[in-house]
Amino acid sequence: MAISSIGIGSGLKLDELLEDLRKAENVSLTAIQNRQIENVSRISAYGKLKASITALQSAGRTLNDPSLYGAVKVKAAGDGISVTGNNKATPGQYSIVVEQLASKHSLSTGKLSDRTTPLGVDGKVTITLQNGTAHTLDLTGKDTSLQGVMQAINADPKLGVTATIINNGDPDRPYQLVLTASETGEQASIQSISVDENANLDGLLSFTAATESSPAQGMKQLSEAVNAKATINGIDIISQSNTLKDTVEGLEITLNKASSDAISLDVTRDDSIPSKAISDFVGAYNALNSTIRSLTSYDVENKKGSALTGDSMPRRIQSSLRSTLNIPTTEGNLRSLASMGITADPKTGDLVVDDKKLATALKDNMADVQRLFVGEDALGNRINKAADEYVKKGGFIDNATDGADKIGKTLEKQALATVERIDNKIEAYRKQFIQLDRMVNQMKGTSDYLTQQLSMLGNMNSNK
């Protein structure tokens, strides 16, 4: 509330006195506001702490993935194939020749002049594939035009085919329905199509695949379904698909282009993948340590603490996570983190990595490294579990944040009440000072009048 100018009539510095009284009263408000600032800083600090722990938890989960250890690099000479590999692949060299790519079976109806005119009423279309699977599309009460049949076929993936309408450019009969098998290979090809209860559709869609004794009947065959053919190190390979998933263990080979030229494929172990995962974990662990130091430090010179100085939670976090690092095993040549080149700095608690020692461990003792990081009682899962107690919904940090939020709401109420109390008190002082100003001004006027009258009496007496 603004302070109006008072004391002019009396000559007293009442406005300065009122301001001094407000400053004195504001001491209690400032204390509450400082506590509010500290509480907001604490809530923000809990958020930073949670983010750092979550990053470490993610790094721990990554370490617990067995596919990291023994991962491979693959390099194919040429664009005839694409290859990916996992840790089940055996390093080595392969010579691959792609003789033939797998293709899809495709059929076409005869030509029609219109795509929206119904072709009879109702009907049931049964499509049987070469692998023996059969599925029926019920068109009862549905659109039987070329457009409607196309949409109905595409809406039912169980049929094993997709449909499209081609405009062939014929001015009189431009529309043809083309059916294409959903998958490549001979077993996914269309063996037969029959239509019951609709002669018009049956005449358009019926199909019977060719046999040794009879040619194909019904719809026209546009492309034949064939299997992929290749050789790997001289061994003949036949596949329904152009992607060979189980041919070489640990490798997924996609055939892109047929050629008589052999493609060289090199498969080598890639220790950089587990090395990076370990490096990321160490970085996340040290980042958490740094965050904790920053949030709990104390400035001795200025006698000022940080957001979580004196809070026991950061120390509990450090203690529980440090204990997860102590994971000695009874198997193998490497039985601890230190034996593979990861140690803790005694001054800071940060992890330090001996890159050469780690590289040697990954090269010569990959199974031991995996044993230390992967498994229910291994480091990766232990970190995940320890971190989860703090960052999960309803965990320690959520509970601490909720508590701080409640304190913040209480402080806000206290601040509002204190502001109201101070304003009311200062207003009461102001009214009193206005009355005092008027009274003193009146007394001054009376004094001036009496002084004047006495002076006049004195002059009168001196003139006699």
Sole residue written with tokens 């604490």: 42
- The predicted structure's pLDDT at residue 296: 92
CB contact at 8 A, 278 and 340: no
> What average pLDDT does this structure show over 186-207?
96
DSSP annotation string for 250-282: TEEEEE----SS-EEEEEEE-THHHHHHHHHHH
CB contact at 8 A, 224 and 104: no
Q: At 22, is the pLDDT very low, low, confident or very high (cuts 50, 70, 90)? A: confident
- The predicted structure's pLDDT at residue 43: 92
- The predicted structure's pLDDT at residue 449: 66
CB contact at 8 A, 67 and 380: no
> What average pLDDT does this structure show over 45-65?
96
> What average pLDDT does this structure show over 305-334?
88
Q: At 435, is the pLDDT very low, low, confident or very high (cuts 50, 70, 90)? A: confident
Count the Cβ atoms, other than its own, within 10 Å of residue 161. 26
> What average pLDDT does this structure show over 22-36?
85
Which two three-digit tokens encode residue 159? Answer: 């049929």
Count the Cβ atoms, other than its own, within 10 Å of residue 242. 21
Question: Which has the minimum average pLDDT: 148-157, 193-202, 297-306, 445-454?
Answer: 445-454
Query: Does residue 6 have a pLDDT over 90?
Result: no
Distances from the Cα of 271 to the Cαs of 6, 73, 356, 359, in angstroms? Answer: 83, 9, 13, 8
Strand partners of residue 137: 125
In the sheet with 81-85, reading across from the earlier edge strand, the strands are 81-85, 251-255, 243-244
For the chain, what is the mean pLDDT?
A: 90
Q: At 226, is the pLDDT very low, low, confident or very high (cuts 50, 70, 90)? A: very high
Please tell me the pTM assigned to this model.
0.72
- The predicted structure's pLDDT at residue 1: 43
Q: What is the pLDDT of residues 85-141, one digit of tens each?
A: 999 999 999 999 999 999 999 999 999 999 999 999 999 999 999 999 999 999 999
Residue type, 142: K
CB contact at 8 A, 106 and 166: no
Q: How far apart are CA 434 and CA 132, in angstroms?
A: 104
CA angle at residue 290 from 302 to 308, to 5 degrees? Answer: 50
DSSP annotation string for 67-96: GGTT-EEEEESSSSEEEEE-TTSPPEEEEE
In the sheet with 134-138, reading across from the earlier edge strand, the strands are 134-138, 124-129, 190-196, 207-208, 217-218
Q: What is the pLDDT of residues 262-278, one digit of tens each?
A: 999 999 999 999 999 99
What is the percent of the chain with per-residue pLDDT over 90, rounded to a whole number?
A: 72
- The predicted structure's pLDDT at residue 5: 61
Question: Which has the minimum average pLDDT: 161-165, 181-185, 397-401, 443-447?
Answer: 443-447
What is the percent of the chain with per-residue pLDDT over 70, rounded to a whole number?
A: 92
Query: Does residue 293 have a pLDDT over 70?
Result: yes
Query: Does residue 286 have a pLDDT over 70?
Result: yes
Q: How far apart are CA 237 and CA 139, in angstroms?
A: 42
How deeply is 288 buried, as exposed, middle or buried, from its count of CB atoms within 10 A (0-12, 13-18, 19+)?
buried
- The predicted structure's pLDDT at residue 434: 72
Q: At 26, is the pLDDT very low, low, confident or very high (cuts 50, 70, 90)? A: confident
> What average pLDDT does this structure show over 237-260?
96
Question: Which has the minimum average pLDDT: 50-59, 282-291, 346-355, 452-461?
Answer: 452-461
> What average pLDDT does this structure show over 304-318?
91
Q: What is the pLDDT of residues 145-179, one digit of tens each?
A: 999 999 999 999 999 999 999 999 999 999 999 99
- The predicted structure's pLDDT at residue 32: 87
DSSP annotation string for 172-199: S--EEEEEEESS-SGGGSEEEEEEES-H
